[in-house]
Amino acid sequence: MADEHFPGWHGTTIIGVRKGGTVVVAGDGQVSLGPTVIKGTARKVRRLSPGGMDVVAGFAGSTADAFTLLERLEAKLEATPGQLARAAVELAKDWRMDKYLKNLEAMLIVTDGKDLFVITGAGDVLEPENDVAAIGSGGNFALAAARGLMTSDKDAETVAREAMAIAAEICVYTNGNLTVETITG
């Protein structure tokens, strides 16, 4: 749900690739306001460790909104240790129903190394087909590139990095300054 007063922040591509028992989440570092690059080194992929559980999350959208969602996800993970799917569904329900949360402008890719999900403000918790998920301004470019690379002998990190490089060449809101986190299931 777009707000007509929302300043037009763009500039994220996040990809999650699962291959060979490894999941890689990579994100670019560009944040733009309209046609202006505000920052090129933002860190939009984070490692969370609620209750000793290892989870990697990447976000697209408003940074403050994403941090709010990451805090809520951590709380859900602490309440449901070792159950990423349940925590993701609980977060998505809250996000869709809560008066404050439903106005947040962000999307998440989360993984514990076994499961890989996209969580949206529409109440969706999506498991990607073909072991690739992508969100953000260049998400469709990265998704298409990664799906094409998945049949190669390349490992998950190489697929993610090469897909992000392709997205950065096509999407003006995506740069090649990557944060990459790897996790095994």
Catalytic positions are 12
Output the CA torsion sign for 78, 84, 88, 89. Answer: negative
**Alpha carbon distance 68, 63 (integer Å):** 9
CA-based angle 113:116:119, to the nearest 5? Answer: 135
Report the Cα 103 to chain-centroid distance in Å: 18
Query: 111 Cβ partners below 8 Å, 6+ apart?
Result: 16, 18, 23, 25, 55, 56, 57, 84, 117, 183
